[in-house]
Structure 1
């Protein structure tokens, strides 16, 4: 592991993932990796519920990792990979909250209010794709409960967690090992931090909200049920 992302989801992690892969630090582990390869859900459920934390096995073949759930374990990963550099992605807290509440948190809250139709869908998914059916439980164990104490519907609490998290990362990681990064800053600070040349290609700008809607878990659950 060469780069550990400590930033929360919805802080530009999809754009940074693309950037790291251009720079040669890929493939980059991301929540989208888990959605694309559902067997990884069980791996993270084991981590979240305290059964296993074999980081080397979990990240085999990935020289970088960003986004939840990996960033929820930034402290453990920074200790396990002492030579890896740490990137804390940040953005305006209010804008971050608007983004996360309309995407990740919205999906999680919907899980708490499952309709009969959704319960039937969940049952069918459990039969056809048992690993992916565990996704909501994994998300609760590794992010919603671990990071936010389950209080994702409390705006003030969520923003307080966001601010405290950034302060804790800054305090725990030595300055020479840490980059506090906004994706709008582009290539220069990232490349200088990683010690690589600035590429000629423009810095990737991935619309995370659109990417989430395209691969949101509920949408994939429906596709699984339909046999696609």
Structure 2
């Protein structure tokens, strides 16, 4: 596995994010699954001074940290010590992705909920939930469902000619989504959601460390939990499915254009080599 990952890095390696030194202690871990008000909560946390709170958009727009996330996933699921148990993920591991973020939300936080809670023992934990499970499933299907599929189509072909597209597929479509949703969101989404919520509830965290919260609850319970004054502004309402799709499409368009350009260059070089060999030039 390490050998394969080394090859992937050699071919598709992206410049890593600038890590630097953590300037502030991790404050909030919002471990609810995507489409459970994660972007609204992130914006609300920013208003309350928990800035910056890491979100899925930080990994895809641009996707510079996706290779680092892939390494964390590999360490969690495929790397074992001599005792046969998975290696422990530390705050230092997570900081390769979270950098100087003092909050974290979205699928990354849900995927590594147990590990993050242990790695940052002083951080408050918010279990952001969505009470309408059918509505959550439909919202996920219309957004994150994009990463639940990995068909061998034209986009699949282009992903091999762009490092950004490759890591989006490798990390999100081939690793994180199938791992978290036990093979398929479409087939297992609802029961994985319920199991995840039950798992976090079952940790037995004290009330002053764990808040179960929904967007409908608004500012008051969130501010009380974080010991912050209630803002005069309305609670943020961010990231509806249409806006999500438009935001992703705008960035993906750049990567797709780059992939097509690389495919043309590769095809031209391959054609020149084949013709040269046929003519005895090479």
TM-score range, shorter chain: 0.7 to 0.9
Map Cα deviations across residues 73-100 of structure 1 (whole Å, 9 max, x no partner): 0110101111100111111111101111
Tell me: CA distance 1:141–1:74, structure 2 relative to 1, closer, same or farther (3 Å).
Answer: farther
Match of 2:196 in 1: 165
Output the CA distance in 1 between the equivalents of 2:223 and 2:174: 34
Match of 2:152 in 1: 114
Output the CA distance in 2 between the equivalents of 1:179 and 1:142: 29
SS of the residue corresponding to residue 101 of structure 1 reads helix
Tell me: CA distance 1:39–1:207, structure 2 relative to 1, closer, same or farther (3 Å).
Answer: closer
Question: 1:209 and 2:241 equivalent?
Answer: yes
Q: Which of 1 and 2 has higher RCO (CA within 8 Å, sep 6+)?
A: 1
Tell me: CA distance 1:72–1:153, structure 2 relative to 1, closer, same or farther (3 Å).
Answer: same
Please say if residues 72 and 142 of structure 1, whose CA atoms lie closer than 8 Å, have aligned partners that are also in contact: no
Please say if residues 41 and 132 of structure 1, whose CA atoms lie closer than 8 Å, have aligned partners that are also in contact: no
Structure 1: runs of 5 or more not aligned: none
Output the CA distance in 1 between the equivalents of 2:69 and 2:148: 20
Deviation at 1:222, TM superposition (A): 2.8
Normalising by structure 2, report the TM-score: 0.71
Output the CA distance in 2 between the equivalents of 1:123 and 1:57: 25
Normalising by structure 1, report the TM-score: 0.87
Aligned residues: 217
Output the CA distance in 2 between the equivalents of 1:185 and 1:118: 40
Tell me: CA distance 1:142–1:20, structure 2 relative to 1, closer, same or farther (3 Å).
Answer: farther
Output the CA distance in 2 between the equivalents of 1:139 and 1:9: 13
Output the CA distance in 2 between the equivalents of 1:109 and 1:189: 34
Match of 1:96 in 2: 136
| Two-structure CA RMSD over aligned residues (Å) | 1.9
Map Cα deviations across residues 160-195 of structure 1 (whole Å, 9 max, x no partner): 111111111011133321111111211101000000
SS of the residue corresponding to residue 4 of structure 1 reads strand
Match of 1:74 in 2: 113
Please say if residues 49 and 141 of structure 1, whose CA atoms lie closer than 8 Å, have aligned partners that are also in contact: no
Output the CA distance in 2 between the equivalents of 1:65 and 1:133: 24
Question: 1:17 and 2:17 equivalent?
Answer: no
Deviation at 1:109, TM superposition (A): 4.1
Question: 1:137 and 2:170 equivalent?
Answer: yes
